Amino acid sequence: MYKSFSMELAGRTLTVDVGRVAAQANGAAFMHYGDTVVLSTATASDKPREGIDFFPLSVEYEEKLYAVGKIPGGFIKREGKASENAILTSRVIDRPMRPLFPKDYRNDVTLNNLVMCVDQDCSPEITAMLGSAIATAISDIPFDGPTASAMVGMVDGELVFNPTSAQREKSTLSLTVASTKEKVIMIEAGAYELPEDKMIEAIFAAHELNQKVIAFIETIVAECGKPKHDYIKCDTPEELYADMVAFVTPEAMEEAVFTDVKQVREENIRAITDKLTERYQETHPEWVPLLGEAIYKFEKKTVRKMILKDHKRPDGREITQIRHLAAEVDILPRTHGSAMFTRGQTQVLTITTLGALAEIQKLDGIDENEKTKRYMHHYNFPSYSVGETKPSRGPGRREIGHGALAERALVPVLPSEEEFPYAIRTVSEVLESNGSTSQGSICASTLSLMAAGVPIKSMVAGISVGLVTGETDDDYIILTDIQGLEDFFGDMDFKVAGTHKGITAIQMDIKIHGLTREIIEKAIRRTKEARTYILDDIMAPCISSPRPEVGPYSPKIVQIKIDPTKIGDVVGQRGKTINAIIELTGVKIDITDDGAVSVCGVDSDSIQKAIKLIQTIVTDFEEGQIFEGKVVSIKEFGAFLEFAPGKEGMVHISKISKERIDKVEDVLALGDIVKVVCLGKDKMGRISFSIKDVK
């Protein structure tokens, strides 16, 4: 017999069924939010895999198209690999959950969320986030939860929680906040230049709502929760650690990590590892397989102590100091736009490509509001950027997540389709990495877009701050512009992108059990200071505003409006007319249902020729109008002229020349281009033209 629990959440009913389905999972929650239904399960292996030295957590978010009454496209008619939205949702579920499992837990854990039915007003993503937290909390898997999550929008300046489909369409904020009972543990945001104070207000309004949900989850755990199982604790033997520290010495470890060159630091650690391996192969061979984790622990303690107690960063910078910055544009001569942004040993080259609106990405997912994507940002992280040898297997979840973050940061400043009728793609190639490449890609992309002549409304820059904490909430230090080592051994990677006016994107990853309001406020303010410096002192001197027009190798697009009832005339039967224009001029043509025609080509003369043909097709012939046509047929009584594909008219033999002629062929030949004037309708209601009356 199952139990059902309900609460009102943002004006809709949230219901959790426990014990109804998936009984063999360690924990299962059958979630209903409005008419959205998600099955969330948490499953753990009985024991760790052999040789595992990390916590193997897998989070899956499965979108089934039957949930919105669709049959998948293609020949297979079955869902394929996870969509980009599914991958991003899996990441946003993972981030608040992962820090709450024991640090020495090595059993495989899978959190699966199956989206089975979607009510567009009730987010399946939030439902899955809550479902994962509940399924894990009621399971026997060790977990220091529960967590709760909420989405926040802003409509007409007012905050709305878990916004409906209509509210999401109008919202200038898309914020997701996850909380524990005491602290904020995850923030993900996109916003239209929202001021810092407003963002902080929205974050803690969501945190307050999350407390009500956590109280609700606690009632479920009290009734249905299983006792947590014991597990094999994986920690470095105390005897090994003590001997290693005594042999190496803390001073030597500090010297090894204290350098601003990543390769030197790695070589120093490698030398220490080799000495310890040689030492223990003879005395304690059983310790050799444990050395990697032991050295990691020693290095981590050293770095954290240096930062927290001595205020000494591994590369010698001040706590608020940003690494050396450099910005360049026009790195690649024939691309539509390119720019490179360098921060210390992090370097990103972004290339902008412009295309016709027909090249926008079509989306086939479960969100009815998301059908196309005009701006696409892709991020690539090759192994050579970190000095490794690894074959490329396409973008992983991290790459997709970083690309989406940069995309989200830049969308608020892009021009509308009416202002700039192009599809836009930026690709960020990471050439070197030592921390915060996603924020480097935001800076490089802004510069690249401006170099390409995209009239963005404001420049966007991104920066990341880190955190090292002590034993109490008051014992912490915030680091501006963290490098890889500080991210690896620190407690937080707080990425914020924005303009001078406000924030456009946030992504917060932490490894501890949440952040206080004081830390969040200080982190956001620190990123504002750093962002302002990057915008004013680094990016603006490189290129201060978008170029006034697209480059010589970019497609040119001209838009005109036609009467929507004339669209069929331009397209022609089975596309015959429009294809003829395309073949004749070499341009691309897009027509929307409201009569907006976009003509795209590299050559301006070809574009104007295509526009003239289209305007001729949609023009109703009236007396006195002048046209230019091509002779396509000659008869005894006159000649037929084509003014545009599918648009023909006739000139009677008496209207060809001011002199009397016996044969049309005496004056005209097939293929001749001639000017004519419209004479209006003849007695039979047909439009007639004259060559001899052209003035």
Band of the pLDDT at 528, cuts 50, 70, 90? Answer: very high
Say what the pLDDT of residue 282 is. 85
What does the block give as tokens for 397?
Answer: 């979840």
The reply to whether 661 falls in a domain is yes
Band of the pLDDT at 624, cuts 50, 70, 90? Answer: confident
SS3 content of the chain, % helix, strand, coil (to 5): 35, 30, 35
Same domain (yes/no): 394, 491:
yes
Task: Give 368: exposed, middle or buried? Use CB within 10 Å, 0-12, 13-18, 19+.
Answer: exposed
The Cα–Cα gap between 230 and 134 comes to: 20
What is the value of pTM for the model shown? 0.89
Over residues 588-598, the mean pLDDT reads 90
Give the tens place of pLDDT for each residue, 415-465: 998 899 999 999 999 999 998 899 999 999 999 999 999 999 999 999 999
The reply to whether 567 falls in a domain is yes
Same domain (yes/no): 612, 670:
no
The reply to whether 208 falls in a domain is yes
Q: Residue 276: which CATH number?
A: 1.10.10
Same domain (yes/no): 522, 588:
no
Same domain (yes/no): 491, 412:
yes
Nearest-Å Rg of the Cα atoms of the chain is: 32
597 DSSP β-pair partners: 560, 591
pLDDT more than 90, % of the chain: 77
Same domain (yes/no): 292, 376:
no
The reply to whether 317 falls in a domain is no
Over residues 619-633, the mean pLDDT reads 87
Say what the pLDDT of residue 569 is. 87
Over residues 170-187, the mean pLDDT reads 97
Q: Residue 614: which CATH number?
A: 3.30.1370.10
Domain end position, chosen among 542, 567, 590: 542
The Cα–Cα gap between 649 and 142 comes to: 82
Say what the pLDDT of residue 602 is. 87
What does the block give as tokens for 385?
Answer: 């950027």
Band of the pLDDT at 50, cuts 50, 70, 90? Answer: confident
Mean pLDDT is lowest, of 173-187, 256-270, 411-425, 505-519, for 256-270
Say what the pLDDT of residue 659 is. 86
Residue pair 514/179 in contact (Cβ under 8 Å)? The answer is: yes
Q: Helix 262-283 to helix 291-310 angle, to the nearest 10 degrees?
A: 130
Same domain (yes/no): 630, 611:
no
What lies within 8 Å, CB to CB, of 589 at 6+ separation is 578, 581, 582, 597, 598, 599, 600, 610, 614
The Cα–Cα gap between 88 and 397 comes to: 8
Say what the pLDDT of residue 623 is. 86
Same domain (yes/no): 451, 581:
no
Alpha carbon of 666 to those of 488, 662, 663, 669: distances in Å?
Answer: 87, 8, 5, 8
Give the tens place of pLDDT for each residue, 250-290: 999 999 998 888 889 999 999 999 999 999 998 899 999 88
Residue pair 409/460 in contact (Cβ under 8 Å)? The answer is: yes
27 DSSP β-pair partners: 42
Residue pair 555/601 in contact (Cβ under 8 Å)? The answer is: yes
Band of the pLDDT at 489, cuts 50, 70, 90? Answer: very high
Say what the pLDDT of residue 368 is. 84
The reply to whether 244 falls in a domain is yes
Q: Which residues are documented as binding site for Mg(2+)?
A: 487, 493
The reply to whether 551 falls in a domain is no
Domain end position, chosen among 519, 542, 565: 542
Give the tens place of pLDDT for each residue, 647-683: 888 899 988 988 888 899 889 999 899 999 998 877 7
Count structural domains, the chain. 5
The Cα–Cα gap between 330 and 448 comes to: 8
The Cα–Cα gap between 528 and 502 comes to: 8
Q: Residue 429: which CATH number?
A: 3.30.230.70
pLDDT more than 70, % of the chain: 100
CA 376, 382, 385: angle at the middle one, nearest 5? 120
What does the block give as tokens for 371?
Answer: 């059908």
The residue segments making up the domain with residue 257 are 238-310
Q: Which residues are documented as binding site?
A: 487, 493
Say what the pLDDT of residue 53 is. 83
pLDDT above 90 (res 619):
no
Say what the pLDDT of residue 250 is. 92
Over residues 17-31, the mean pLDDT reads 97
pLDDT above 80 (res 684):
no
Residue pair 133/147 in contact (Cβ under 8 Å)? The answer is: yes
Q: Residue 672: which CATH number?
A: 2.40.50.140
pLDDT above 80 (res 686):
no
Nearest Cα residue to 33 out of 160, 187, 164: 164
Long-range pairs of 72-78 with CB within 8 A, sequence gap ≥ 24: 72/364, 73/364
The reply to whether 318 falls in a domain is no
Same domain (yes/no): 65, 186:
yes
Same domain (yes/no): 92, 20:
yes
Residue pair 160/151 in contact (Cβ under 8 Å)? The answer is: no
The reply to whether 491 falls in a domain is yes
Domain end position, chosen among 224, 255, 270: 224
Over residues 193-201, the mean pLDDT reads 97
Same domain (yes/no): 369, 469:
yes
CA 416, 420, 422: angle at the middle one, nearest 5? 105
Average pLDDT, the chain: 94
Same domain (yes/no): 678, 570:
no
Residues in the chain: 695
Over residues 590-616, the mean pLDDT reads 90
Same domain (yes/no): 335, 304:
no
